A and B are shown apart, each in its own frame.
Chain A
Amino acid sequence: MIPGSLARRYARALLGLAPTPAARDKYATDLAALSEMAKSTDESGVTVLTVLTTRRYTVSDRKKLLDALGRRVAADPMVIKFLAYAIEQDRINGLHEITRAFVRMADDAAGRLQAEVTSAAPLGPDAIAELQQALAVATGKTIVLTTKVDPSLIGGVVTKLGSYVLDGSVRSALARMREELRS
Protein backbone atom coordinates (compact mmCIF):
# COMPACT_ATOMS: atom_id res chain seq x y z
CA MET A 1 0.00 0.00 0.00
CA ILE A 2 1.03 3.58 -0.55
CA PRO A 3 -0.40 6.79 0.88
CA GLY A 4 -3.51 8.20 -0.81
CA SER A 5 -1.76 11.43 -1.73
CA LEU A 6 0.97 9.52 -3.56
CA ALA A 7 -1.61 7.32 -5.33
CA ARG A 8 -3.47 10.42 -6.48
CA ARG A 9 -0.19 11.88 -7.78
CA TYR A 10 0.45 8.77 -9.89
CA ALA A 11 -3.17 8.67 -11.05
CA ARG A 12 -3.03 12.33 -12.04
CA ALA A 13 0.13 11.65 -14.05
CA LEU A 14 -1.53 8.82 -15.95
CA LEU A 15 -4.59 10.95 -16.49
CA GLY A 16 -2.38 13.53 -18.13
CA LEU A 17 -1.01 10.90 -20.48
CA ALA A 18 -4.47 10.07 -21.84
CA PRO A 19 -4.87 11.93 -25.16
CA THR A 20 -8.66 11.57 -25.39
CA PRO A 21 -11.59 10.83 -23.07
CA ALA A 22 -11.92 7.46 -24.71
CA ALA A 23 -8.29 6.66 -23.95
CA ARG A 24 -8.87 7.80 -20.38
CA ASP A 25 -11.78 5.42 -20.02
CA LYS A 26 -9.72 2.67 -21.64
CA TYR A 27 -6.93 3.30 -19.13
CA ALA A 28 -9.44 3.11 -16.30
CA THR A 29 -10.86 -0.16 -17.59
CA ASP A 30 -7.37 -1.62 -18.07
CA LEU A 31 -6.21 -0.53 -14.63
CA ALA A 32 -9.32 -1.99 -13.01
CA ALA A 33 -8.82 -5.28 -14.87
CA LEU A 34 -5.14 -5.46 -13.96
CA SER A 35 -5.88 -4.53 -10.35
CA GLU A 36 -8.47 -7.29 -10.15
CA MET A 37 -6.06 -9.75 -11.73
CA ALA A 38 -3.33 -8.73 -9.26
CA LYS A 39 -5.56 -9.93 -6.43
CA SER A 40 -5.60 -13.51 -7.74
CA THR A 41 -3.47 -16.01 -5.84
CA ASP A 42 -1.51 -19.15 -6.63
CA GLU A 43 -1.70 -22.46 -4.79
CA SER A 44 0.33 -21.17 -1.85
CA GLY A 45 -1.83 -18.09 -1.42
CA VAL A 46 0.68 -15.62 -2.86
CA THR A 47 -0.99 -12.84 -4.82
CA VAL A 48 0.17 -11.64 -8.22
CA LEU A 49 0.69 -8.20 -6.71
CA THR A 50 3.07 -9.70 -4.15
CA VAL A 51 5.11 -11.20 -6.98
CA LEU A 52 5.13 -7.85 -8.78
CA THR A 53 6.21 -6.14 -5.58
CA THR A 54 8.84 -8.47 -4.15
CA ARG A 55 12.49 -7.79 -4.85
CA ARG A 56 13.33 -11.46 -4.88
CA TYR A 57 12.63 -11.19 -8.60
CA THR A 58 14.47 -8.83 -10.89
CA VAL A 59 12.76 -5.79 -12.30
CA SER A 60 12.95 -7.22 -15.81
CA ASP A 61 11.25 -10.45 -14.71
CA ARG A 62 8.51 -8.48 -13.02
CA LYS A 63 8.09 -6.36 -16.13
CA LYS A 64 7.77 -9.54 -18.20
CA LEU A 65 5.03 -10.73 -15.86
CA LEU A 66 3.31 -7.35 -16.21
CA ASP A 67 3.50 -7.60 -20.00
CA ALA A 68 1.94 -11.04 -19.87
CA LEU A 69 -0.87 -9.77 -17.70
CA GLY A 70 -1.37 -6.80 -19.99
CA ARG A 71 -1.62 -9.01 -23.02
CA ARG A 72 -4.18 -11.18 -21.29
CA VAL A 73 -6.52 -8.19 -20.68
CA ALA A 74 -5.49 -6.43 -23.89
CA ALA A 75 -4.31 -3.43 -21.93
CA ASP A 76 -3.20 -0.24 -23.55
CA PRO A 77 0.62 -0.08 -23.98
CA MET A 78 0.66 3.25 -22.13
CA VAL A 79 -0.87 1.61 -19.07
CA ILE A 80 1.76 -1.14 -19.22
CA LYS A 81 4.53 1.42 -19.53
CA PHE A 82 3.07 3.36 -16.63
CA LEU A 83 2.94 0.30 -14.42
CA ALA A 84 6.45 -0.70 -15.51
CA TYR A 85 7.60 2.71 -14.32
CA ALA A 86 5.80 2.07 -11.03
CA ILE A 87 7.74 -1.21 -10.72
CA GLU A 88 11.01 0.65 -11.32
CA GLN A 89 10.06 3.22 -8.68
CA ASP A 90 9.05 0.45 -6.29
CA ARG A 91 5.47 1.83 -6.13
CA ILE A 92 3.64 -1.05 -7.75
CA ASN A 93 2.47 -2.11 -4.29
CA GLY A 94 0.04 0.82 -4.56
CA LEU A 95 -1.66 -0.56 -7.67
CA HIS A 96 -5.10 -0.82 -6.02
CA GLU A 97 -4.94 2.71 -4.57
CA ILE A 98 -3.72 4.15 -7.87
CA THR A 99 -6.52 2.34 -9.72
CA ARG A 100 -9.18 3.63 -7.34
CA ALA A 101 -7.83 7.18 -7.60
CA PHE A 102 -7.58 7.00 -11.38
CA VAL A 103 -11.11 5.62 -11.81
CA ARG A 104 -12.45 8.35 -9.55
CA MET A 105 -10.53 11.03 -11.45
CA ALA A 106 -11.62 9.60 -14.79
CA ASP A 107 -15.20 9.53 -13.63
CA ASP A 108 -14.93 13.11 -12.39
CA ALA A 109 -13.43 14.19 -15.66
CA ALA A 110 -16.20 12.44 -17.59
CA GLY A 111 -18.91 13.68 -15.24
CA ARG A 112 -19.63 10.18 -14.01
CA LEU A 113 -20.32 8.97 -10.50
CA GLN A 114 -20.02 5.40 -9.29
CA ALA A 115 -23.01 4.34 -7.24
CA GLU A 116 -23.42 1.04 -5.43
CA VAL A 117 -27.00 0.13 -4.62
CA THR A 118 -27.66 -2.61 -2.09
CA SER A 119 -31.22 -3.87 -1.63
CA ALA A 120 -32.90 -6.52 0.48
CA ALA A 121 -34.40 -8.10 -2.63
CA PRO A 122 -33.32 -7.88 -6.27
CA LEU A 123 -34.44 -4.64 -7.89
CA GLY A 124 -36.37 -4.65 -11.13
CA PRO A 125 -35.05 -2.89 -14.21
CA ASP A 126 -37.57 -0.13 -13.79
CA ALA A 127 -36.57 0.51 -10.20
CA ILE A 128 -32.88 0.57 -11.17
CA ALA A 129 -33.55 3.00 -13.97
CA GLU A 130 -35.61 5.26 -11.72
CA LEU A 131 -32.96 5.14 -9.04
CA GLN A 132 -30.23 5.92 -11.54
CA GLN A 133 -32.23 8.80 -12.90
CA ALA A 134 -32.96 10.18 -9.44
CA LEU A 135 -29.30 10.00 -8.47
CA ALA A 136 -28.27 11.63 -11.72
CA VAL A 137 -30.68 14.48 -11.08
CA ALA A 138 -29.55 14.82 -7.46
CA THR A 139 -25.84 14.85 -8.27
CA GLY A 140 -25.84 16.31 -11.74
CA LYS A 141 -23.60 13.50 -12.94
CA THR A 142 -23.92 10.38 -14.98
CA ILE A 143 -24.47 7.55 -12.59
CA VAL A 144 -22.66 4.27 -13.11
CA LEU A 145 -24.74 1.93 -11.06
CA THR A 146 -23.81 -1.43 -9.59
CA THR A 147 -26.33 -3.45 -7.61
CA LYS A 148 -25.99 -5.93 -4.75
CA VAL A 149 -28.48 -7.93 -2.74
CA ASP A 150 -28.21 -8.18 1.06
CA PRO A 151 -31.18 -9.88 2.78
CA SER A 152 -29.96 -8.64 6.19
CA LEU A 153 -31.30 -5.23 5.21
CA ILE A 154 -34.82 -6.74 5.71
CA GLY A 155 -36.24 -4.14 3.38
CA GLY A 156 -35.39 -0.91 1.57
CA VAL A 157 -32.25 0.26 -0.20
CA VAL A 158 -28.77 1.51 0.69
CA THR A 159 -26.93 3.60 -1.87
CA LYS A 160 -23.23 4.39 -1.66
CA LEU A 161 -21.84 7.31 -3.67
CA GLY A 162 -18.12 7.35 -3.00
CA SER A 163 -17.89 8.02 0.72
CA TYR A 164 -21.49 9.26 0.84
CA VAL A 165 -24.12 6.73 2.00
CA LEU A 166 -27.87 7.07 1.67
CA ASP A 167 -29.42 4.47 3.94
CA GLY A 168 -33.12 3.68 3.43
CA SER A 169 -33.04 0.14 4.82
CA VAL A 170 -35.38 -1.33 7.42
CA ARG A 171 -32.35 -2.61 9.34
CA SER A 172 -31.03 0.91 9.81
CA ALA A 173 -34.49 2.16 10.73
CA LEU A 174 -34.74 -0.50 13.43
CA ALA A 175 -31.25 0.36 14.67
CA ARG A 176 -32.19 4.04 14.91
CA MET A 177 -35.37 3.10 16.71
CA ARG A 178 -33.39 0.98 19.16
CA GLU A 179 -31.03 3.84 19.94
CA GLU A 180 -33.91 6.29 20.40
CA LEU A 181 -35.73 3.93 22.74
CA ARG A 182 -32.58 3.29 24.77
CA SER A 183 -31.65 6.94 25.16
Chain B
Amino acid sequence: MRRIPCLVAALTTALTALPRIVAAAPEPGAPDAHGAHEGGIQWISPVFGNSGKMGLLWILINFAVLMWLLEKLLFSKLRAKTAAKSDAIRGELERASLARQQAEGIMTDVRARLAKLDGEVESILAEATARAEADRVRIVEAAQTEAERIKAAAIAAAERDSEQRRRALEAEIVDSAIARAEVMLRGRITAADQGRMVDDFIGQIASTPMPGFAATAGGPS
Protein backbone atom coordinates (compact mmCIF):
# COMPACT_ATOMS: atom_id res chain seq x y z
CA MET B 1 0.00 0.00 0.00
CA ARG B 2 2.86 2.33 0.75
CA ARG B 3 4.35 1.78 -2.70
CA ILE B 4 1.39 3.37 -4.41
CA PRO B 5 2.00 6.91 -3.15
CA CYS B 6 5.63 6.58 -4.20
CA LEU B 7 4.68 5.58 -7.74
CA VAL B 8 2.06 8.26 -7.93
CA ALA B 9 4.59 10.81 -6.77
CA ALA B 10 7.08 9.63 -9.37
CA LEU B 11 4.53 9.72 -12.19
CA THR B 12 3.25 13.12 -11.06
CA THR B 13 6.75 14.46 -11.08
CA ALA B 14 7.28 13.07 -14.56
CA LEU B 15 4.00 14.41 -15.96
CA THR B 16 4.43 17.84 -14.43
CA ALA B 17 7.86 18.04 -15.95
CA LEU B 18 6.46 17.09 -19.37
CA PRO B 19 4.78 20.46 -20.30
CA ARG B 20 7.93 22.29 -19.37
CA ILE B 21 9.87 19.94 -21.63
CA VAL B 22 7.32 20.50 -24.40
CA ALA B 23 7.36 24.26 -23.89
CA ALA B 24 11.07 24.31 -23.99
CA ALA B 25 11.11 22.40 -27.24
CA PRO B 26 11.53 24.58 -30.39
CA GLU B 27 8.89 24.70 -33.04
CA PRO B 28 9.42 22.60 -36.08
CA GLY B 29 11.00 24.71 -38.85
CA ALA B 30 11.86 27.56 -36.52
CA PRO B 31 15.37 28.46 -36.39
CA ASP B 32 17.13 27.27 -33.34
CA ALA B 33 17.97 30.24 -31.22
CA HIS B 34 20.97 28.66 -30.11
CA GLY B 35 21.30 26.34 -33.08
CA ALA B 36 21.56 23.36 -30.79
CA HIS B 37 18.17 21.51 -31.14
CA GLU B 38 16.12 20.19 -34.03
CA GLY B 39 12.78 18.47 -34.14
CA GLY B 40 11.15 18.63 -30.52
CA ILE B 41 10.11 15.74 -28.26
CA GLN B 42 10.75 12.35 -29.56
CA TRP B 43 8.55 9.98 -27.64
CA ILE B 44 9.95 6.89 -29.19
CA SER B 45 13.28 6.65 -30.85
CA PRO B 46 15.96 4.15 -31.07
CA VAL B 47 17.78 3.90 -27.87
CA PHE B 48 20.64 5.75 -29.35
CA GLY B 49 19.20 7.07 -32.62
CA ASN B 50 20.81 9.18 -35.19
CA SER B 51 19.90 12.30 -33.29
CA GLY B 52 21.71 11.07 -30.28
CA LYS B 53 18.58 11.64 -28.05
CA MET B 54 16.77 9.12 -26.01
CA GLY B 55 13.05 8.94 -26.41
CA LEU B 56 11.01 10.31 -23.48
CA LEU B 57 9.07 7.11 -23.08
CA TRP B 58 12.27 5.25 -22.59
CA ILE B 59 13.29 7.75 -20.00
CA LEU B 60 10.00 7.24 -18.15
CA ILE B 61 10.34 3.50 -18.38
CA ASN B 62 13.88 3.83 -17.17
CA PHE B 63 12.72 6.01 -14.35
CA ALA B 64 9.95 3.58 -13.44
CA VAL B 65 12.40 0.69 -13.40
CA LEU B 66 14.73 2.75 -11.28
CA MET B 67 11.93 3.54 -8.87
CA TRP B 68 10.86 -0.10 -8.80
CA LEU B 69 14.43 -1.20 -8.03
CA LEU B 70 14.77 1.48 -5.38
CA GLU B 71 11.48 0.34 -3.90
CA LYS B 72 12.61 -3.28 -3.84
CA LEU B 73 16.11 -2.75 -2.61
CA LEU B 74 15.97 0.38 -0.48
CA PHE B 75 12.62 1.89 0.29
CA SER B 76 11.01 -1.30 1.63
CA LYS B 77 13.89 -1.87 4.04
CA LEU B 78 13.88 1.75 5.05
CA ARG B 79 10.16 1.57 5.67
CA ALA B 80 10.51 -1.69 7.66
CA LYS B 81 13.30 -0.20 9.73
CA THR B 82 11.31 2.96 10.24
CA ALA B 83 8.24 0.94 11.20
CA ALA B 84 10.31 -1.07 13.66
CA LYS B 85 11.72 2.07 15.17
CA SER B 86 8.28 3.51 15.30
CA ASP B 87 6.98 0.38 17.04
CA ALA B 88 9.89 0.47 19.47
CA ILE B 89 9.28 4.12 20.23
CA ARG B 90 5.59 3.45 20.65
CA GLY B 91 6.40 0.53 23.02
CA GLU B 92 8.80 2.72 24.96
CA LEU B 93 6.16 5.38 25.15
CA GLU B 94 3.62 2.87 26.37
CA ARG B 95 6.05 1.53 28.97
CA ALA B 96 6.92 5.02 30.04
CA SER B 97 3.24 5.78 30.33
CA LEU B 98 2.67 2.66 32.36
CA ALA B 99 5.65 3.46 34.59
CA ARG B 100 4.35 6.97 35.01
CA GLN B 101 0.95 5.58 36.01
CA GLN B 102 2.61 3.22 38.47
CA ALA B 103 4.73 6.02 39.86
CA GLU B 104 1.63 8.14 40.22
CA GLY B 105 -0.08 5.22 42.01
CA ILE B 106 2.89 4.81 44.33
CA MET B 107 2.97 8.51 44.91
CA THR B 108 -0.72 8.44 45.74
CA ASP B 109 -0.18 5.52 48.07
CA VAL B 110 2.76 7.20 49.75
CA ARG B 111 0.78 10.38 50.16
CA ALA B 112 -2.05 8.38 51.68
CA ARG B 113 0.33 6.58 54.00
CA LEU B 114 1.96 9.82 54.95
CA ALA B 115 -1.44 11.12 55.74
CA LYS B 116 -2.08 8.12 57.96
CA LEU B 117 1.45 8.15 59.47
CA ASP B 118 0.58 10.34 62.41
CA GLY B 119 -2.20 8.01 63.41
CA GLU B 120 0.05 4.99 63.04
CA VAL B 121 2.75 6.66 65.10
CA GLU B 122 0.28 7.32 67.87
CA SER B 123 -1.00 3.77 67.63
CA ILE B 124 2.54 2.35 67.77
CA LEU B 125 3.39 4.56 70.69
CA ALA B 126 0.28 3.46 72.55
CA GLU B 127 1.00 -0.19 71.81
CA ALA B 128 4.64 0.16 72.87
CA THR B 129 3.56 1.89 76.06
CA ALA B 130 1.08 -0.88 76.81
CA ARG B 131 3.71 -3.54 76.15
CA ALA B 132 6.26 -1.77 78.31
CA GLU B 133 3.73 -1.54 81.12
CA ALA B 134 2.88 -5.23 80.76
CA ASP B 135 6.59 -6.09 80.77
CA ARG B 136 7.15 -3.94 83.82
CA VAL B 137 4.30 -5.64 85.67
CA ARG B 138 5.54 -9.06 84.63
CA ILE B 139 9.14 -8.29 85.64
CA VAL B 140 8.03 -6.88 88.97
CA GLU B 141 5.90 -9.96 89.64
CA ALA B 142 8.74 -12.29 88.66
CA ALA B 143 11.14 -10.36 90.84
CA GLN B 144 8.71 -10.54 93.75
CA THR B 145 8.26 -14.28 93.23
CA GLU B 146 12.02 -14.80 93.03
CA ALA B 147 12.51 -12.66 96.11
CA GLU B 148 9.92 -14.74 97.98
CA ARG B 149 11.62 -17.94 96.85
CA ILE B 150 15.05 -16.69 97.91
CA LYS B 151 13.63 -15.51 101.19
CA ALA B 152 11.97 -18.89 101.81
CA ALA B 153 15.19 -20.71 100.88
CA ALA B 154 17.20 -18.46 103.14
CA ILE B 155 14.76 -19.02 106.00
CA ALA B 156 14.86 -22.77 105.42
CA ALA B 157 18.67 -22.74 105.27
CA ALA B 158 18.81 -20.62 108.40
CA GLU B 159 16.41 -22.99 110.14
CA ARG B 160 18.45 -26.00 109.04
CA ASP B 161 21.63 -24.32 110.16
CA SER B 162 20.01 -23.36 113.43
CA GLU B 163 18.75 -26.91 113.90
CA GLN B 164 22.19 -28.31 113.16
CA ARG B 165 23.80 -25.88 115.56
CA ARG B 166 21.18 -26.71 118.16
CA ARG B 167 21.81 -30.42 117.73
CA ALA B 168 25.56 -29.89 117.81
CA LEU B 169 25.19 -27.81 120.96
CA GLU B 170 22.94 -30.41 122.52
CA ALA B 171 25.39 -33.14 121.58
CA GLU B 172 28.21 -31.11 123.04
CA ILE B 173 26.25 -30.52 126.24
CA VAL B 174 25.35 -34.21 126.42
CA ASP B 175 28.95 -35.25 125.80
CA SER B 176 30.16 -32.83 128.44
CA ALA B 177 27.54 -34.06 130.87
CA ILE B 178 28.36 -37.70 130.17
CA ALA B 179 32.08 -37.02 130.44
CA ARG B 180 31.48 -35.19 133.70
CA ALA B 181 29.31 -38.05 134.95
CA GLU B 182 31.98 -40.55 133.94
CA VAL B 183 34.62 -38.66 135.87
CA MET B 184 32.36 -38.43 138.88
CA LEU B 185 31.43 -42.11 138.70
CA ARG B 186 35.07 -43.15 138.37
CA GLY B 187 35.84 -41.28 141.54
CA ARG B 188 32.79 -42.30 143.48
CA ILE B 189 32.15 -45.96 142.62
CA THR B 190 33.35 -48.02 145.53
CA ALA B 191 33.95 -51.71 145.91
CA ALA B 192 30.56 -51.95 147.55
CA ASP B 193 28.96 -50.29 144.53
CA GLN B 194 30.81 -52.68 142.22
CA GLY B 195 29.61 -55.64 144.32
CA ARG B 196 26.06 -54.34 144.17
CA MET B 197 26.26 -53.95 140.41
CA VAL B 198 27.60 -57.51 140.07
CA ASP B 199 24.74 -58.76 142.21
CA ASP B 200 22.24 -56.86 140.09
CA PHE B 201 23.86 -58.28 136.96
CA ILE B 202 23.59 -61.81 138.33
CA GLY B 203 19.95 -61.13 139.11
CA GLN B 204 19.33 -59.91 135.59
CA ILE B 205 20.92 -62.98 133.99
CA ALA B 206 18.05 -65.16 135.13
CA SER B 207 15.52 -62.82 133.51
CA THR B 208 17.46 -62.21 130.28
CA PRO B 209 16.42 -64.33 127.30
CA MET B 210 19.36 -66.18 125.78
CA PRO B 211 18.44 -67.47 122.35
CA GLY B 212 20.65 -70.24 121.07
CA PHE B 213 21.15 -71.89 124.42
CA ALA B 214 19.25 -74.83 125.78
CA ALA B 215 16.13 -73.92 127.74
CA THR B 216 16.44 -74.36 131.47
CA ALA B 217 14.34 -73.76 134.50
CA GLY B 218 16.30 -70.66 135.35
CA GLY B 219 16.35 -68.84 131.99
CA PRO B 220 14.80 -68.57 128.58
CA SER B 221 16.00 -70.58 125.64
Chain A residues near B (Cβ < 8 Å): 113, 119-121, 123-124, 127, 130-131, 134-135, 137-141, 154-157, 159, 161-162, 164, 166, 168, 170-171, 174, 177-178, 181-182
Contacts and interface: CB of A to CB of B under 8 A. Distances in A.
B170 interface: yes
Interface string B192-217: 01110111111011101010111111
Interface residues of B, number: 35
B215 A138 contact: no
Contact of A119 (B174, B194, B204, B216): B194
Contact of A138 (B174, B178, B195, B208): B208
A137 B197 CA distance: 19
A140 B213 contact: yes
B182 interface: yes
12 contacts: A131-B201, A131-B202, A138-B213, A139-B216, A140-B216, A140-B219, A159-B201, A164-B213, A168-B201, A168-B204, A174-B178, A181-B174
Contacts of B174: 178, 181-182
A140 B175 CA distance: 41
A127 B206 CA distance: 15
Q: Is the interface of B mostly helix, strand, loop or mixed?
A: helix
B34 interface: no
A66 B178 CA distance: 53
A138 B210 contact: yes
A156 B216 contact: no
Contacts of A138: 205-206, 208, 210, 213, 216, 218-219
Contacts of B185: 154-155, 170, 174
A129 to B, nearest CB: 10
A174 B181 contact: yes
B1 interface: no
Q: Considering the complex of A and B, which 4 residue pairs feature the smallest CB-CB distances, nearest first?
A: A137-B218, A138-B219, A140-B216, A168-B201
A164 B211 CA distance: 9
Contacts of B210: 138-139, 161, 164
B171 interface: yes
Given A127-B198, A127-B202, 17 more contacts: A119-B194, A121-B191, A131-B202, A135-B205, A137-B216, A138-B213, A139-B210, A140-B214, A140-B215, A141-B213, A154-B189, A166-B201, A168-B197, A168-B201, A178-B175, A178-B178, A181-B170
Contacts of B193: 155
B183 to A, nearest CB: 10
B191 A134 contact: no
Which of B177, B198, B218, B219 counts the most chain A CB atoms within 10 A? B198
B176 to A, nearest CB: 11
B200 A168 contact: yes
A6 B47 CA distance: 157
Nearest to B173: A181
